[in-house]
Structure 1
Amino acid sequence: MAAMYLKIKSDLFEKINNGTYKEGDLIPTEIELAEYYNVSRPTVRQAIQILVDDGYLEKRRKRGTMVCQKKIEQEFTQKILSFDAEMNEKGLTTSTKVISSTIEDASEEVASTLGISLSDKVCKLIRLRYINSKPNVIVTTYIPYNQFPDIKNVNFINSRLYDYFSHKGNPVTRIKRKLETIKADNTTASLLDIQENDPVFYFHSYGYGNDNKVIEYSISKYRGDINYFVFDLCR
């Protein structure tokens, strides 16, 4: 005879599949489920955790447990597209919140990456990107200010960075990316609406211009619960 927590897990899974609990819905609380199934809260918690681990539910701070949306495919192919263009091609709606845009001295790491001196200035642009009104990725971008001095006047809520480079006659023609996984710190968790220590995809991206020099260095933190990545390689 199956353990009770497995029966509860199967019942909740069926309700997710048949639409009783729809994407974005909060399921009943542990107390409500414990009363409904006439079991203890630890038994309910065990059932819920299996569905969380399998990607069907997610626990949200101060809100409860929510039915997950389907994971979003992020494609890294030979075709260079902006975040907005790629998501729009998939029929998804994007929006941007600019956290900050500042002109500051280049750090040693940033200067080395961009091939500029420590005395040079960079534009540091931090954006929170949304998909279908849900926070998806935090992007911190460094751009050599001496090469693009009017970037401080661009409204990146509505403008695309790659379009800006193209309009300046120096489009991004090649991108190199490095992928790691990290745990979300408190600030990252708060911005992405996840739990502290939840897994995050951590990318370093290097955008090369016409002269094969890096004109854009970005650090991106993608939510680990709603994204997956496809790498399309050719021989």
Structure 2
Amino acid sequence: MKIPLHKKIRMDLLEKINNGFYQENDTIPTELELSEQYGVSRPTVRQAVQALVNEGYLERRKKRGTIVKKTKIKQEFTHVIESFDSEMNRKGISPKTNVLNFSIEHANEEVSENLNIEPNKEVYKLVRLRYAGEDPLVTVTTYIPKEMFPKLEEVDFSTQLLYNVFKEFNYPIQSVSRKLEVIKADETTSDLLNIEENDPIFYFHTQGFTHDKIAIEYSISKYRGDINYFVFEI
């Protein structure tokens, strides 16, 4: 299917915002300049620019023109099951994952309750720091029942998607349950996310279920409050 010109221009402008070509508070070229640059009409450019204004990436200022805003990332995983990488790519943002820790532990009371397993059962503990472009966005600590996933330690989770790995083991995630709190960042979290200690963060508890409501994931995610917002559909 052919992509309309205004959408192509929107995508190109958004990429330039995300990669720093246009930085926060920069004034982008005028509609006339952009129409000459892209070889299209001014209404086509206006439609592309207005879309980015509506999405919060740009702001029109009297006497100054259209400037780049410091934007928050719209997180939609609260009402869809989608991987972090897929969601970021769909938004034109380059994702990156650093694995901070991957180990085998004995489940404590909180983990055993959320995975519906006996206390002290062996679980994998996977700790990841995930980026949107160059910005650290979220820390995720995930617990997975070891007996269901032999040799999981051989997977490189800096490049492999957790939900894809579950699917390869024939345990696809089919439903999730999430609880949201807002808390203050501690010293470790503030260092990892490059924010101030006591800054607000979104604190998610997630249970992921495969067929027959079997819990195979318990994750604790800490999202920066300054560059994220969340959409809920009821």
TM-score if structure 2 supplies the norm length? 0.70
Deviations 1:11-55 (A, max 9, x none): xxxxxxxxxx94299xxxxxxxxxxxxxxxxxxxxxxxxxxxxxx
Residues 160 and 24 of structure 1: CA distance in aligned 2, closer, same or farther (over 3 Å): farther
Alignment partners' CA distance in 1, 2:198 and 2:78: 30
* Pairing 1:77-92 to 2, within 5 Å after superposition: 78-92=79-93
Q: Which residue of 2 aligns with 1:180?
A: 181
Query: Alpha-carbon deviation of 1:117?
Result: 1.1
Partner SS, residue 102 of structure 2: strand
Q: Deviations over 1:54-104 (max 9, x none)?
A: xxxxxxxxxxxxx97310000135531101111111111100000000001
Match of 2:159? 158
Change (3 A) 1:68 1:219: farther
Corresponding residue for residue 201 of structure 2: 200
Moved over 4 A (4+): none
Counterpart residue type for residue 194 of structure 1: I
In structure 2, what residue type is equivalent to 1:130? Y
- 2:115 equivalent in structure 1: 114
The corresponding residue for 1:209 is 210
Identity of aligned residues (%): 53
Structure 2 counterparts to residues 131-146 of structure 1, below 5 A: 131-146=132-147
**Alpha carbon RMSD of aligned pairs, Å?**
1.8
Provide the rounded CA distance (Å) in 1 between the counterparts of 2:167 and 2:204: 23
Change in CA separation of 1:186 and 1:77 when aligned onto 2, cut-off 3 Å: closer
Q: Counterpart of 1:48?
A: none
* Unmatched runs of 5 consecutive residues or more in structure 2: 1-21, 27-67
Matched, 1:221 2:222: yes
Using structure 1 for the length normalisation, give the TM-score: 0.70
Q: Structure 1 residues 77 and 222, CA, compared in 2 at 3 Å: closer, same or farther?
A: closer
CA distance in 1, matches of 2:25, 2:97: 21
After superposition, the Cα gap between the structure-2 partners of 1:159 and 1:118, relative to the gap in structure 1 and judged at 3 Å, is same
